[in-house]
Structure 1
């Protein structure tokens, strides 16, 4: 039987590369594949299989294209796919596009093949006679959700795309199979239509968690709908003047000519519906519960573990998790520094080379909950001056360790998210808060040589948030696995606040949902923080000012979660983020005075055209009805 499924996939892949949507000629095989409930369920899981690829963050532009992580491009070994990371270096091209989800090449998977599988499932699900009505309705809803999500993924990347509503018959004419791009509003509206059809027949939660965790729920579908509508309403797709002249060969405009404020209202309504449905099911923001094996834990460290574990907690007990995928996060070894003598000696156990540029560390607020360049009580100009850890900061910075002032008096999410020189790292096998390990980033001299570049962090900062606190790197790496969230409740709260602000400007409800997230992070509310500490106290009182605050809040709260890259694209802010060199510290130096000198590690190359992916040139030759993405 397995060979039958491979035959289906092989024929699908060959056809899709050429025409996207021709039904294979194996009708008998399909009848066999849907001959009973069990076989139909296997085919449903085949539809799910493509979804699992999105769990690999190295192949997700929301992660690699955000500039939150720098990955070195001069390695002698290549254990991680580097194409997505390299796109901000200007490597994208039309001959062999990186993260090509259109064709399924160069770090991408063929999403049009996945869409065709969903269509095949929907066309044949009436065949099994032993399938109950309730199961059939749920499975149809799941297939529609996946079909919607695959279209959404393509739309975020390519904008106007061909929409594959039904698979064409094998006797379709040449002109019929030469599909065309559809206007972005038609694409988004069709995605929403599919989700609306799916939501009523999906379960609100997974009852059989042993067998079914990872399958989609109505809450997940409602949350994805909110993201779809927020994307459609955002500047990249809503009245974007850069694409005003983007038309197909028939002269049809593929992007809307003008801005439509009503799109934000639709997004706000969808966010609110998803929030209410989530809370009705008992979802709420996560708080760390101290386990029995930790005898003593300060409020400061509990706060940090609350922030970290909102991401890394087991998915069956995380009350904040709306949706995650089956694969566990596979890159903890890239995110953890060497903090013990055995880990320094054992260079093969962990790469440690997901490097956070200093610009990302400076994104996080001061302890007063405002940006570091706005806080009138914080020495922004002198932030690179030296200072030693003291008893007042002992749960954040090693006592007596010389570091820089920028590492002091920061918000809890900074200490929970970033591993920096001198920073405390609670966990890694040491659960005694008074003897916690710390990061020693100065002087990477023990890793000299080109092959060892694979195991050097080139900025001196690690994405601590992506490492479970119980994961241990000592004489080897013992990971505590977790599922990186696709959607968390805190992100949904901030998305709702964003949409509400775009509709009505600053209102009490906007502040309420931002402040829920800030309160969990140990911060004052927006209005109090800006009134008391900011050099721009009136910033939250205007729509434009509050928009800047909400955007920064989302970038902080969801940092390293494969979200910021997509947000920055839809906001049309990625070009600004990548307009400056990405820098880190002088990692080979051993003295503080020499180590804390900024070194440029990467000069991004990013223009307007990079907001959308190019279609592979050969595809335009095969299908002359297609047009290339604008500016490519």
Structure 2
């Protein structure tokens, strides 16, 4: 660990290689790793490189870069138009444990875990004269929180993982030194929770607010709750599908008995967060004389306004999200500007949004019309426009999330005129114009799309998600508790839809634990759409075999006029039981026989 490396290679040391071979031989010209801790600048560079491993979910392409996710295109809410995107393989259940993409998170996050451990072990001995003991402890807490966070990410992707603890493998490690088995999911959860608790004490009172993009006490407390929430979910809490997933010594890696107490622990952790940090964080709201538009702006801008009061954690300096999914997109053949949109919303997600009266479209009282057209003005249109009735009088979050044909897009053209999106075959966003950067579904994901390429923060976790998670945990642990309805209604009230049993035009309160469970899940689907949550929700609920398999529909983009509006089969997806978890990379299992492969792989 005292090999010589230059400052310019420090980042490469942290970001390249494999989780078993951490340092390669490098030129011995200027600086040893021990010397890094003699300078504040170099210490900050070291931990910044560990932070750099945080996933950059703004890219959404998942070509192995920046640990970006497949989470929208591989869920039932989205579809990509690019054949090279890995989601096209996942959605056919045609992926393999030998695929490079499967290794991306495993390798990168274990590398970051190793580097965080190295930082934790070295920071107390730092000799930088402008770095006092309190700062050393705080930075140690941040590194510890990062390590726990990367374990949490691995767990929700791969399930139970190998816990390295404070072991720091030497560069030459191999054979028996690496032969460590996976810990059980409950052991992994206990470790991550313990590490977050330690990090909370070490970080102390945060010096910077949420805008720093660093782990603070607030962030640590939130992710402790998230980890407990994941462990309580059906995928990992009494799941017989993993009965055969055991280590050589017979240790069961995923519990086979449902333990309701796990939900109670998660609910208690959320309450602990709310007690400590609310109202320091709060639901983001925008004022407007028109209540419908106020709800629309609130639900739109909570994502677009970086580091607002609802944000709990995010990545600093991310690039533009879904840059291919906004206008202007310049058509070189004729100089016209038009709407792009290679990441499309599915018909399933479009149908999942409520009507303006808060009812699902399947309710006869909702007023939903499946055919015909009406003059309708969306919240950001300047005037009414002929609109397909399926998209008329929907809840504000629908208009936040989806761009449809004959709706104003986010940009104006070079002359300042509005661009009206038309995804019919010959339209300005139709397939006659392009086969690549147009919507694959006849809908374009609008949420989280910015109007420029400036770097900004990208959201990981916000209070709205925590409110709904708390309600879910409480409904499983203590059905009928008053807080369940309270926190679901807080979300619905901000979203501008009628509440259950409260406010104006109230809806009937869900009458049973099961009915409330369905209501909470539906609320999550609308509120958290396109925020990289749905993929994990359907898996931890063990419902992806129903939601992520079978026919997927959209508009008929091969047609013009009214024929475009015919619901059309786009693809038939396949989801097998094995697909609930990523496989452990094949080379890891081959080189370390103690690591048992996930069931089905």
Residues 103-502 of structure 1 correspond to what in structure 2 (within 5 A)?
A: 103-104=106-107, 110-129=108-127, 130=129, 131-165=131-165, 166-169=167-170, 174-202=175-203, 207=208, 213-280=212-279, 282-288=280-286, 298-315=290-307, 318-336=308-326, 345-346=334-335, 351-379=340-368, 383-390=369-376, 393=377, 395=379, 401-425=385-409, 428=412, 438-444=420-426, 452-468=434-450, 471=451, 478-479=452-453, 482-502=456-476
State whether residues 124 and 137 of structure 2, in contact with CA within 8 Å, keep that contact through their aligned partners in structure 1.
Answer: no
Query: Aligned partners of 1:496, 1:562: CA distance in 2, in Å?
Result: 18
- How many pairs align? 586
Query: Aligned partners of 1:394, 1:349: CA distance in 2, in Å?
Result: 20
Which structure has greater strand proportion? 2
Query: Aligned partners of 1:241, 1:335: CA distance in 2, in Å?
Result: 41
Query: Aligned partners of 1:530, 1:241: CA distance in 2, in Å?
Result: 45
Query: Counterpart of 2:570 in 1: which secondary structure?
Result: strand
**Number of the residue aligned with 1:107:** none
**Number of the residue aligned with 2:489:** 515
How far off its partner does 1:175 sit? 1.4
Taking a change above 3 Å as real, the CA distance of residues 349 and 408 of structure 1, as seen in their structure-2 partners, is closer
Query: Aligned partners of 1:419, 1:438: CA distance in 2, in Å?
Result: 10
State whether residues 425 and 432 of structure 2, in contact with CA within 8 Å, keep that contact through their aligned partners in structure 1.
Answer: no
State whether residues 553 and 569 of structure 2, in contact with CA within 8 Å, keep that contact through their aligned partners in structure 1.
Answer: yes
How far off its partner does 1:444 sit? 3.6
Equivalent position to 2:549, from 552, 560, 579: 579
State whether residues 388 and 400 of structure 1, in contact with CA within 8 Å, keep that contact through their aligned partners in structure 2.
Answer: no
State TM-score, norm by structure 1. Answer: 0.84
**Number of the residue aligned with 1:559:** 529
**Is 1:29 aligned to 2:23, yes or no?**
no
**Number of the residue aligned with 2:587:** 618
**Number of the residue aligned with 1:475:** none
Instruction: Tell me whether 612-621 or 420-429 shows the greater mean CA deviation.
Output: 420-429
State whether residues 583 and 601 of structure 1, in contact with CA within 8 Å, keep that contact through their aligned partners in structure 2.
Answer: yes
Taking a change above 3 Å as real, the CA distance of residues 173 and 509 of structure 1, as seen in their structure-2 partners, is same
State whether residues 11 and 24 of structure 1, in contact with CA within 8 Å, keep that contact through their aligned partners in structure 2.
Answer: no
Deviations 1:119-147 (A, max 9, x none): 11011112223221110111011001000
Which structure has greater helix proportion? 1
Query: Aligned partners of 1:451, 1:402: CA distance in 2, in Å?
Result: 23
How far off its partner does 1:429 sit? 7.8
Query: Aligned partners of 2:305, 2:171: CA distance in 1, in Å?
Result: 48
State whether residues 299 and 397 of structure 2, in contact with CA within 8 Å, keep that contact through their aligned partners in structure 1.
Answer: yes
How far off its partner does 1:301 sit? 2.9
State whether residues 338 and 421 of structure 2, in contact with CA within 8 Å, keep that contact through their aligned partners in structure 1.
Answer: no
Query: Aligned partners of 1:436, 1:300: CA distance in 2, in Å?
Result: 22
Query: Aligned partners of 2:251, 2:232: CA distance in 1, in Å?
Result: 21
Query: Counterpart of 1:626 in 2: which secondary structure?
Result: coil
Query: Aligned partners of 2:36, 2:178: CA distance in 1, in Å?
Result: 25
Query: Aligned partners of 2:151, 2:478: CA distance in 1, in Å?
Result: 30
Deviations 1:138-177 (A, max 9, x none): 1011001000011111111111110111213467673132
Taking a change above 3 Å as real, the CA distance of residues 182 and 169 of structure 1, as seen in their structure-2 partners, is same
User: Can you give the 5+ residue segments of structure 1 that lack an aligned partner in the other structure?
Assistant: 105-109, 291-296, 472-477
Query: Counterpart of 2:257 in 1: which secondary structure?
Result: coil
Query: Aligned partners of 2:255, 2:290: CA distance in 1, in Å?
Result: 54
State TM-score, norm by structure 2. Answer: 0.88
State whether residues 401 and 447 of structure 2, in contact with CA within 8 Å, keep that contact through their aligned partners in structure 1.
Answer: yes
**Number of the residue aligned with 1:294:** none
Deviations 1:489-512 (A, max 9, x none): 111111111111111113221111
Query: Counterpart of 1:484 in 2: which secondary structure?
Result: strand
Taking a change above 3 Å as real, the CA distance of residues 361 and 349 of structure 1, as seen in their structure-2 partners, is closer
Taking a change above 3 Å as real, the CA distance of residues 550 and 617 of structure 1, as seen in their structure-2 partners, is same
**Number of the residue aligned with 1:64:** 73
Query: Aligned partners of 1:569, 1:426: CA distance in 2, in Å?
Result: 33
Query: Aligned partners of 1:2, 1:352: CA distance in 2, in Å?
Result: 44
Equivalent position to 1:88, from 79, 91, 97: 91
User: Can you give the 5+ residue segments of structure 2 that lack an aligned partner in the other structure?
Assistant: 62-67
State whether residues 53 and 112 of structure 2, in contact with CA within 8 Å, keep that contact through their aligned partners in structure 1.
Answer: yes
Taking a change above 3 Å as real, the CA distance of residues 482 and 102 of structure 1, as seen in their structure-2 partners, is closer
**Number of the residue aligned with 1:474:** none
Deviations 1:550-607 (A, max 9, x none): 1111111111111111122111122211123121111232212x11112222211111
Query: Aligned partners of 2:483, 2:14: CA distance in 1, in Å?
Result: 52
Query: Counterpart of 1:215 in 2: which secondary structure?
Result: coil
How far off its partner does 1:343 sit? 10
Deviations 1:406-454 (A, max 9, x none): 1122111111211112334466589x9xx96543222346678899311
Query: Aligned partners of 2:434, 2:409: CA distance in 1, in Å?
Result: 24
Query: Counterpart of 2:560 in 1: which secondary structure?
Result: coil
